[in-house]
Structure 1
Amino acid sequence: MRIFANVKTSINRYKDYRTMTKDDLADFYQSKCDYYQEYVWVCLVVGTILSVFYIVPDYMLNGSIIPTLIPRLTVLGILLLFLIVLHFSHSRAAIVTADYFLVHSIIVTTICAAHFLGHKTLASEFFLIMNLIFLIAGFVARIREITVSYIIFFLEILISHFIIRYENFPIIMILIIPCGLAVIFSHVILTFLYLDHYRLSQKLELAMITDPLTQVYNRHLLEKIVTKNALMNMEEPIAIAMLDIDNFKKINDEHGHYTGDLTLLYIGQKLSKETHSDDYVIRFGGEEFIVIFKKCDINNACARMEQFRQDVEKAEDSPVPFTISVGVSKYTGDFSKTIQNVNHALTKAKDSGRNSVVVV
């Protein structure tokens, strides 16, 4: 039955969620925040502006808007602060804090306005409406953040009751608690549903930066590294190597392009196995590969590439016997300059008879 299939799918999503590391979860929730925040902030802005129109029922209950005017308008100043925070900050923590600060500001200012009303019977309707706002804000929040915010909401109602004395306080609490649980549960389901979207996005992003033949990274990743200056602020030493398969055209001519492709696949997979997990192996183009060694000085990088060159030369499992030439250079902080240096080193290795490692 379909319901059992849905339950099984939900269980699998939960298991997937539980396997995520702390860094994975941070990236997941940042992605969720980036995806939904535009919808959330538009709804919160509109909801905040519309909350000012509570002065209409204020007038109907009090015969005047003067007693409640200041609390109703105060929320507009808080809205301005909210928009300033969103303009200058893109971190999920700041965005979620700003979202819920605005939500609770609406609650507090409305409670203050209710203090000046002769009748408190509309409080239950307002608190029920706030569940809709909590539902919207929860799109960018973690489950525990939604839960904590609801606990604060309940405390705000409870504390204000001792001051204002709501006429229908038991009814308010009886209505609010199940609504709160329903909102929290809905966001549990939404989080697991978004996990499918997140995994699909990861696969698409990986496909965009992966060379389909060798299964190592391609130049799209290199462009991202350069564009984002991803290596700029790293404190550990970084070295970059560029290697080239010697006489690759001869391999294609004598053994065919299929064997040439197998040779490229072989070198790509061998590089991936013999480099560290945090290093980058990138197919630069044709038979050229770039390796970015993190936490590795120039001497260590040279020794590792020399060992790799020897392993390739002596390999018995390669599609055809072949050798490589390698250029190595220290990362200078200027990626373009470093690539020029490493390319110059590779040229020297090829000009000096190939099958060698040269450092610049």
Structure 2
Amino acid sequence: MKIIENAKALWNLFKDYRSMNDDDLADFYQSKCDYYQNYVAISLVVGAFVSITYIFSDYLLNGTYLPTLIPRFSILVALALFLVLINFVRDSKLITFLDFALAHCIVLATMWAIYHLEIKVHASEGFIIMNVVFLTVGFVSRPRYTFLSSVIFILEILITNTFNHYPNLDIILALQIPVGLAVVCSHILLTLYYLDHYRVRQKLELAMVTDPLTQVYNRHLLEKIVTKNALIDAQEPIAIAMLDIDYFKQVNDEHGHYTGDLTLLYIGKKLSTETHGDDYVIRFGGEEFIIIFKNCDVNNACARMEQFRRDIEAATDTPVPFTVSVGVSKYTGDFAKTIQNVDSALYKAKNTGRNKVVVV
């Protein structure tokens, strides 16, 4: 049955969610916030202006606009502040705070207007409508923040009751508590379903920067990790190596392109195995690979590539026997210049006998 299948899918998503560490969760909620924030911000702006139009219902209850005129239009002050601050904020937690703050300002402006109404019995309907605002903001927030917001909303009702004296407070609370819980449950489901979207997007992003044959990164990764000709988050020492399979054209000519592909796959797997988790292995083009060694000086990088070269030369599990030439250079802070240095070192290795490591 479809219901059972959906329940199983949700359970698997929940287990996936529970397995995420703090860094993963932070990235997940930042992604969720980035995805929905435009919708939430526009909805809040519209909601703020719509809340002003309740001045017409105030007129029907009071027979005049004047008593609730200032309370209703006071939301424009909070809205202006929101529109200014939201342009300078990128962190999902701060964005969520600003969203909820504006939502609660709409609530407080409404409660201020209710104070000036002669008939307050319709406050219960207004408070139920307010949950639509919190439902909207919850698109960018963590479920626990939505729960906290619902608790704050109930406290706001209880506090303002001391001077608004809602004639049907028991009905207001009887309606608000289950509706608040429904909003929280809705956001738990939304979070889990967005996790499914998030995982699909991660796979697509990984596929875009992954070479399908060798399963190492492709050149598109450089667009992500190099900005303004410098590595992002570069913490020296960093060394860069460029590796080339010797006489690879001869491998293709004598043994066929399938064997050549197997050779590329072999070296891709071996590079991935023998580098560290924070290193980058990139298929730069054809039979050339770039290795970016993080927290590694040029001497250490040279030693590691020399060991790798020897391992390849002595390997007995390769599709065909082959050797590699390697150029190594220190990362100078200028990525293009460093690549030129590495390419020059590789050129020297290939033109002085191949099957060696050269440092520039």
TM-score calculated relative to the size of structure 2:
0.97
1:57 lines up with 2:40 in the alignment: no
Q: Which runs of 4+ in 1 moved over 6 A?
A: none
Q: By how many angstroms is 1:229 displaced?
A: 6.7
1:174 & 1:25 partners in 2: Cα distance?
34
1:202 & 1:313 partners in 2: Cα distance?
37
1:170 & 1:73 partners in 2: Cα distance?
29
Please tell me whether the aligned partners of residues 242 and 291 of structure 1 are also in contact (alpha carbons under 8 angstroms).
Answer: yes
Match of 2:187 in 1: 187
Q: By how many angstroms is 1:28 displaced?
A: 1.2
Match of 2:314 in 1: 314
- One-letter code of the match for 2:91? S
Give the 3 Å change call, closer, same or farther, for CA 268–93 of structure 1 in structure 2: same
Match of 2:113 in 1: 113
Please tell me whether the aligned partners of residues 225 and 232 of structure 2 are also in contact (alpha carbons under 8 angstroms).
Answer: no
2:228 & 2:332 partners in 1: Cα distance?
16
Match of 1:346 in 2: 346
Match of 1:134 in 2: 134
Give the 3 Å change call, closer, same or farther, for CA 123–143 of structure 1 in structure 2: same
Match of 1:91 in 2: 91
1:73 & 1:340 partners in 2: Cα distance?
63
Aligned identity (percent) is: 65
1:205 lines up with 2:205 in the alignment: yes
Q: Helix, strand or coil for the counterpart of 1:201?
A: helix
Question: C-alpha deviations, 1:12-63, integer Å up to 9, x for none?
Answer: 1111111111111111111111111121111111111111112112222223
Structure 2 unaligned blocks of 5 or more: none
2:111 & 2:167 partners in 1: Cα distance?
14
1:288 lines up with 2:288 in the alignment: yes
Q: Helix, strand or coil for the counterpart of 1:244?
A: strand
Give the 3 Å change call, closer, same or farther, for CA 230–71 of structure 1 in structure 2: farther
1:342 & 1:190 partners in 2: Cα distance?
49
Please tell me whether the aligned partners of residues 229 and 334 of structure 2 are also in contact (alpha carbons under 8 angstroms).
Answer: no
Q: How does 1:169-188 map to 2 (within 5 A)?
A: 169-188=169-188
Match of 1:81 in 2: 81
- One-letter code of the match for 1:131? N
Q: How does 1:327-338 map to 2 (within 5 A)?
A: 327-338=327-338
Question: C-alpha deviations, 1:334-357, integer Å up to 9, x for none?
Answer: 111111111111111111211111
- One-letter code of the match for 1:225? I
Q: By how many angstroms is 1:128 displaced?
A: 0.3
Greater CA drift, 58-67 or 283-292? 58-67
Q: Helix, strand or coil for the counterpart of 1:118?
A: coil
Q: By how many angstroms is 1:231 displaced?
A: 2.6
1:156 lines up with 2:156 in the alignment: yes
1:127 & 1:229 partners in 2: Cα distance?
54
1:214 & 1:293 partners in 2: Cα distance?
19
Please tell me whether the aligned partners of residues 226 and 232 of structure 2 are also in contact (alpha carbons under 8 angstroms).
Answer: no
Match of 2:23 in 1: 23
Match of 2:4 in 1: 4
Q: By how many angstroms is 1:247 displaced?
A: 0.8
Q: Helix, strand or coil for the counterpart of 1:150?
A: helix
Q: By how many angstroms is 1:302 displaced?
A: 1.0
Please tell me whether the aligned partners of residues 325 and 349 of structure 1 are also in contact (alpha carbons under 8 angstroms).
Answer: yes
RMSD: 1.4
Greater CA drift, 317-326 or 110-119? 110-119
Please tell me whether the aligned partners of residues 232 and 333 of structure 1 are also in contact (alpha carbons under 8 angstroms).
Answer: no
Please tell me whether the aligned partners of residues 40 and 136 of structure 1 are also in contact (alpha carbons under 8 angstroms).
Answer: yes
Match of 2:219 in 1: 219
Q: By how many angstroms is 1:89 displaced?
A: 2.1
1:57 & 1:186 partners in 2: Cα distance?
30
TM-score calculated relative to the size of structure 1:
0.97
Structure 1 unaligned blocks of 5 or more: none
1:344 & 1:93 partners in 2: Cα distance?
47
1:229 & 1:194 partners in 2: Cα distance?
35
Q: By how many angstroms is 1:227 displaced?
A: 3.6
2:37 & 2:17 partners in 1: Cα distance?
21
Question: C-alpha deviations, 1:189-215, integer Å up to 9, x for none?
Answer: 111111111111111111111101000
1:217 & 1:232 partners in 2: Cα distance?
16
Please tell me whether the aligned partners of residues 326 and 349 of structure 1 are also in contact (alpha carbons under 8 angstroms).
Answer: yes
Question: C-alpha deviations, 1:134-174, integer Å up to 9, x for none?
Answer: 11110111011111111111111111111211111000000
- One-letter code of the match for 1:101? A
Q: By how many angstroms is 1:2 displaced?
A: 2.4
- One-letter code of the match for 1:144? R
Aligned residues: 360
- One-letter code of the match for 2:222? L
Q: Helix, strand or coil for the counterpart of 2:317?
A: coil
1:31 & 1:139 partners in 2: Cα distance?
11
1:192 & 1:147 partners in 2: Cα distance?
16
